[in-house]
Each structure stands twice: as structure tokens, then as C-alpha cells.
Amino acid sequence: MARELVESIKKRFHALDPCTNSNYSHFKVVNTDLSLTVSFETKTLSGTVIYDLVNLDDTTEVILDTSALVINSVTVNGQDAEFELKPVKPPYGAPLVIPVHGKELKIAIEFKTTDKCTAIQFIQGDTGPYVFSQCEAIHARSLFPCFDTPAVKSPYKFTGHSPAVVTMSGRPQPSDASGTYVFDQPIPIPSYLVSITSGNLLKAPIGPRSDVYSEEPNLKKCQWEFEKDMENYIQIAERIVFDYEWSRFDSLVLPSSFPYGGMEIPNMTQLTPTLISGDRTQTKVMAHELAHSWSGNLVTNASWEHFWLNEGWTVYLERRILGAIAAEEAKKEGRRDADEYGEQVRHFNLINGWNELTETCETFDKRYTKLVLDLENGDPDDSFSKIPYEKGSFFLYHLETKLGGIKEFDPFIKYYFNKFKYQSLNTADFVDTLYDFYEPKGKKETLDNIDWETWLFVSGLPEKPEFDLTLASQVYKLVDKWVVYVEKGGKLPGDETEHFEGEQDMLFLETLTAKFKTLKVKPETIREFPKIYPKYTASKNGEIISRWNELLISFGKYTPEDELVQTFAAWLGTIGRMKYVRPGYVLLKNGVSRDFAVETFKKYEHTYHPICRTMVKKDLGLDK
């Protein structure tokens, strides 16, 4: 059955990445040399990219991805070459066609970005001009001509020229030239992991092989937030998978307009400043980005149709790391049930993940609630949601459970990442590898009984797993008191959250919101909440702020003039993380008024990253 299953799965997705114009399958990229020069005056990057290619089948042209780039010149094996920019194919950009002859090719291209580049944002940082890039999923083609697909991985040499400090996706190398920064990346990486940042950056140590970078005003806060756990995270991840291969795990806390929680840039993970909450409750994002050092960076999805292979594995590993951290701390406290407690913490995070998965399946485009996607003629950005993260991780948890638990699954983790490191793979490759590993161990029947069709190709929620509710029960008891009050009246519940830890607070707010959606809650009841739970109003943690305001604004019948709404709207103008920004504007649209949501967005849209701006416009119906 295994061979037939794998072949049937292959027929359900594209053999080649449908989100690239390039003819990448005809070439092997031996090495890439990318040089970028920052101009804060013109807000552009100019540069040269040099590819060492092997022509695999005597193809007579190289086709690269570009988007909104100016191509100044092309040489092939040192000789000036003709080239043609074909018409734009939205959303994939304009193919760059270069005639070639021969097996070994050295192609050099001089180029310049334009104001339509979606990969970079020039801003005024806290201490001076600042630029950063974000290439996932298909935005690298607006930064430099490339095979813009995760199917292609290459070692890189990077050079950055700027009057301010530069970081790029590699290991810093010595440079004697003023304003010149050199980096080496010997491990093959895909185009979406190429990055450049430049600004008045300083660094501080957060571990023996980790520094954190930021502008000076926030450096000490960043250092405090991460220094407690960073090295411990790395060592635990190494025990679960294998030794960290990237030499250093440094991090860069970006300005507020950064649109993601984090981006797993090799050797320089990018982080949102919303993680600096002063309570270390959001360091789990660091565990997530660290896990990407194996899942995504070392072993990569072959196209965005298989994005779950990046993010599902990463969330799975993240929760294993967090559970192990909790167990270690419990052992230091002398708890005899330390390992059991670690699993309880892992399950508490699974519960939070299940809630997020449930909400996404109820509200997101059904086409994109499958694990394996069809992205032909589609924009991968439109498909990005919690699905690949949470549904992917629950699929792996399901496999772990069916195959005998952690002890039976851990050897497969090491086998899988060793087999595919430095490579890209698809879902059929993954399933094939499961059978290769477990069939000799007598687990073929177990795998045959997995409902592959439902897990991989059916929209919506999968079967709900059994959770250990030990750490969630206290939260659920308080939620139940509110449900009884709303349904039957009586004494108003008080604040019983004093001993809640950060994750429990989040679970309380999101569970209460979900329950209230099924009940008739009086607005005056909701308006009592800020008096009962003042700590949530005072919180600086974005996870709390977003959930707290969703609860209040969804049911409180607030108007644009109310101070609470004004405060939340102003907060949306101080952040750029799409996890908060996009739901925030949808909340204003549905809970207050569309006019107010649009008015607020227009006030702050110039501060958002181009990707974030585009997505919020779609959310508010301003893209028509």
C-alpha cells in the first residue's frame, strides 16, 4: 500500500512550484554571491548577484524571477549578454530571460530596486534611518533576480554596503573597508531566507553563542527578555533533533513595523518588538524561531503548497522545547513529577493551539484550511494562516500518538532531519520516509490506518485529540462561573486570575470570548470587566491586549468615541505585527463600524510594511 499511497498523494499537488516564473528545475545552483548597497537618500538598494550554475539538460535560456526591479546589465561567463524582461504575470512578477549555452555558467546581473519593492521597508528608526527586508513567501524577486522558490537552495556569500551597521543571512566575516560588511553562508538556503537590515544597531550577549541586536534605547530590555532561556533552548533542541549546525544563533529585534512575530533568518533571527513585554511570557516565539533552524532552514518545503512541512514541524518542536524547559525548572525546584509537569505544560500549549486552529477553520477561506494546498495562479500570502502551523503540528502529534508516543517518535525525528538536511521536500516525500522508517519496525499496519485523505486534503478541523487538562482546569472553572452568571444571574464573578501565568490568562480570555459568542451577553456586563480585571487593561503584552480588546469590543457595544476604543485604535498605530494588526482592524470593522476602521487604517497605513498594508486593505474591502 505504501508505494500506491505515495503515488496517489503525488497526483494531488503540482510536481513543480506553481508560484515561480523561473525554470529552476533545469539548473543546479552551485553558489550565489549577492552584493547590496543601501541608499537611505533614494530609499533603494542597488546590487549585483552572481550565480554559478550547472545546466542539467542543455537548456538554452535561464529564466529568473523578478518583480519591480530595474535590470542594468547581464553577463554570462564574463561576456555581455542579451536579456529580456517579459510582461508581468500578477502576482508573480516579470520573468527575466537570459540566453545561455554550455554546461557550467557564471551569470552576473546588476540591478536596482524601485519604490514598488515589496521586500524592503525604509523607515525612521528610534535613532536614525533604518531599512529591513522580509522576503517570505515570494518577495525575494523584488529584492534581487533569483529562482524564487524554496525548491532551490544555495550557499551564499553576502556583501552589504551602508553608512549604518548591516546584518545579512550569514556568519560575519572580517572586513577592512569602511561601510562594508561581509557574511558567509556555507549551508544552502532558499531565496526567502535572504535578508538585509541596516541601521544604528548595537548588540548584547544573551548566551555563549547568541547575541541580541537592536537600536540602543531598547537593547537592555531585549537582553533581559531573552538571556534567561536562550542557551537552554538551544541545548534542549539539540537533544530532540541533533547538534545546531549554524554556528551562532543571533537575533535582531526590529522596529514596530515588522509584520511578523519572527522570521527565521539564518544566523540573525528577526523578531517583533511586541515580544519585549517585560515578563518573558513571549519567549516561546524564540523557541519557535530556533526550531526553524532545523525545520524550514535545514529541511525546507519544496513549495508553498507544502508549507505545513516548515511550520507544522516547527510548532511541534517548539512545544517539545517548552515542555522540556518546564520539566527542567520543575526538577530544580525538587518536584518529583517534573517530567509529568513538562508534558502538562506541553498539553496546555496544545490546548491553546487547538483553540486557534478552531477559530481559523471557522473564519478562514475554506480552500486554505487543508494541509496540502493548491496555489496555482494564487498568491501564497493569501493562504498564510494558523492552518500550516497548528493543523500541521496536530498532524505530527497524531502520528506521534498512533506510533507509540514520544519514545517511539523521537528516533524518527532525528532520521527525518538527517535524511533531508540541506534539501527541500514535499508531502509525498514525507509520507514515503515515514514508511521507510517504521515499516521495518512492524508499524506498517498503523500507518496504513492513518486517515491520510482527511488529514492532508480535507478542509476544516481534524479529529480533536485527548488533552491533559491539569493546567487548564483552573481556567475553565472561572469561565464556567461566567457562563452560569450570564445564563442565570446571581453574584458577579470576581477576579480569580491572581495566580494565572501568561498562557493561562490568554486561555481564559479566548475561551470566555468563544463561550460568549454562543450566549446573550448584556453589554453592561461586559463594561464591568475593566473594573474586575484591571491587570488586563494595564498589560503591555500584545497577546493579552489583542484578546482583551476582542472580548470587550465584540460584546460591549462601544462607540468610536469611547476611550477604550480610542486606546485600542491608537495601539494599532504603534505596532506592525500582522497577527495583531489584521484581526484588530477586523474587530473595529465588525465591533464598532467599518467607517471607523477605515479611518483608523488610513491614519496609520504609512507606518505599516507593504505586505501588511496590502492584507489589511483586503480585510477592509479597500482593494476593490
* 110-129 pLDDT, tens digit each: 999 999 999 999 988 889 99
Q: What is the pLDDT of residue 413?
A: 98
How many percent of the chain have pLDDT more than 70? 100
**How far from 332 is each of 24, 326, 447, 615, CA to CA, in Å?**
52, 10, 39, 46
Cis ω for the linkage preceding 560 (within 30 of 0): no
Q: What is the pLDDT of residues 72-92, one digit of tens each?
A: 999 999 999 999 999 999 999
Q: What is the pLDDT of residue 559?
A: 97
pLDDT band at residue 285 using 50, 70 and 90 as cut-offs: confident
Q: What is the pLDDT of residue 609?
A: 87
Q: What is the pLDDT of residues 360-376, one digit of tens each?
A: 999 999 999 999 999 99
Closest to 225 measured CA to CA, from 272, 170, 258, 265:
272
The mean pLDDT value for 594-613 works out to 94
Domains, the chain, in order of start with CATH, read 22-197 (2.60.40.1730), 201-294 (3.30.2010.30), 303-457 (1.10.390.10), 503-620 (1.25.40.320)
To 5 degrees, how large is the angle CA 85–CA 90–CA 92?
Answer: 65
**How far from 162 is each of 45, 202, 255, 262, 624, CA to CA, in Å?**
10, 15, 18, 24, 39
Supply the residues annotated as catalytic: 289, 389
In whole angstroms, give the CA distance from residue 258 to residue 121. 9
The mean pLDDT value for 512-532 works out to 96
In whole angstroms, give the CA distance from residue 277 to residue 508. 19
Instruction: Reply yes or no on whether the pLDDT at 554 is more than 70.
Output: yes
Per the CB < 8 A criterion, the answer to whether 181 and 168 are in contact is: yes
Phi, psi torsion values for 560, nearest 5 degrees: -60, -25
Instruction: Reply yes or no on whether the pLDDT at 277 is more than 90.
Output: no
Question: Left (φ > 0), alpha (ψ -120 to 50) or beta: where does 548 sit?
Answer: alpha
Cell representation of residue 182:
561581509
Closest to 6 measured CA to CA, from 364, 452, 334:
452
Q: What is the pLDDT of residues 31-74, one digit of tens each?
A: 999 999 999 999 999 999 999 999 999 999 999 999 999 999 99
In whole angstroms, give the CA distance from residue 453 to residue 569. 43
DSSP at 306: G
Instruction: Reply yes or no on whether the pLDDT at 1 is more than 80.
Output: no
Q: What is the pLDDT of residue 260?
A: 84
Instruction: Reply yes or no on whether the pLDDT at 501 is more than 90.
Output: no
494 three-class SS? coil
**How far from 118 is each of 375, 406, 581, CA to CA, in Å?**
20, 42, 18
pLDDT band at residue 469 using 50, 70 and 90 as cut-offs: very high
Report which secondary-structure segment, H or E, holds 44.
strand 44-55
Instruction: Reply yes or no on whether the pLDDT at 280 is more than 90.
Output: no
